[in-house]
Structure formats: C-alpha cells, structure tokens
Amino acid sequence: MEIIIKATPEEASRCAFEKIREEMSNGAKVLGLATGSTPVRLYRIMRESELDFSGMTSINLDEYMGLSEDSPHSYHHFMHEQLFDAKPFKKNYLLDGMADEAEECAQFEAIIAANPIDVQILGIGTNGHIGFNEPGTSFDSRTQKVALWQSTIDSNKRYFADEKDVPRFAYSMGIQSILSSRQIILMAFGKEKAAAVKAALEGPITEDLPASVLQTHKHVTVILDEEAAQMLSKK
C-alpha cells in the first residue's frame, strides 16, 4: 500500500489524475468510478484535461434505490453532469435504481466479470464504508441491495431538500467486487475523515470497518490531504 499525502484536496486530486493518466498510458481500459463530494475535483480535472476517454469503459460503484436515472439526485445524473457529458466514454455502466433487485445485481456482476476493472476510484465514509458497503458487510459480498446507515443519510442529506427525501436503500458493488480491481485509488479529504482513515490503514482488518479490507489488496494507492492524514502514525 502506497500512501501519498498532499497539502490540499486540489493537489491530492491532481495526483490521482496523474495516476489515472499513467495507467491509461500503460493500457488501462476500464475505470471504476465513485460518486459523492470526494471525486468532484478529480472529475473536473478530467473534464478540463486533454485526455481522450472515448476508448475507455466505466463502471460505477453504486446508485440509490428508487431513483430513476433522470432524477437530479441519482448518481446516473451526477456522473453525466460531472464527467460523461464533457468526456464521452466508449461505454458507461451504471446501476439502475429502478430495476429488479435480483436481476440488476446479477447483471452488474456479469458486467464486472466481462470488463475487469483496471483502476477503481474509492472514497471512504466517516464510518469506514467503501461504496455503500456499511459496517458489518461481508468481505465476500458482491453487488447487492444495502440499507444505508443513519450516518450515511446524514452525510448525504445536504444534497436533498429534506432528510426524508434521502433514499434509505441503495445498490452497491460488493466488497469482493471492489477487491477484484487490478488497482485501487482511495481518496480522502478533510479532518472529518481522519479517524476512519487511521482505522482503515492502521487498525485491524475487520468487517466492522469495511475499508480495512484494502490492507489485503496487492495494489492500493491512498491519496490524502493533510487534514485526512492528521491522525496517522506512519506518515
């Protein structure tokens, strides 16, 4: 595991972009993409870059259940607004929040199997989740329906007019699905992520903190700003 600490989220996001550029130059064809506030700067840098993604495939981590793709709160809408409309990919695979649970999860696992992820971008929740895999999720899990913790709902309610509008369930790529990626880039910014980062990188490997499983992966790059790294003992 490589840990890179930059002064600001902007510098850290540019570092992540350079990692993606390097992997693309080495033949990477499939990017696993995350949503939420953490990758927004990265996606802006990707939009503004000269990189051509028209030969690339993307696979997204998660989607709220019960939201159609044209909902302004869906991650389908988020990804098109943040990246895809400006930088077309050859193919974008996103979970369908309105689809049948069993069919959608099976289909998405088939997509991942047919398009092995070269570089998976991840954020981390304050409770240590990756994707929407909340504490207690099995390390053997594949794409599935998940119940969101209240802390996750609280973190995401700023995007909605009222907390009651925040979906309570989502589809998420499972932990084993994430670990199947050839390379993982975990990004975390801000002091509110510092405790989760320390536990994930320096604590025991436990399903009580899903991100801790990344300690078992052969090729993980962790890119932090100074605030997110402030509790680490091994800087």
- Which positions are annotated as active-site residues? 62, 127, 129, 134
Looking up tokens 């320390």 gives 198
Strand order across the beta sheet in which 183-188 lies: 2-6, 220-225, 183-188, 119-122, 30-33, 57-60, 91-93
Residues shown for the chain:
235
- Position 110: which residue type? A
Whether 152 contacts 132, CB under 8 Å: yes
Q: Token pair for residue 18?
A: 């350079």
Distance CA 157, CA 64 (A): 13
Query: DSSP of 141-155, one letter per residue?
Result: --SEEEEPPHHHHHH
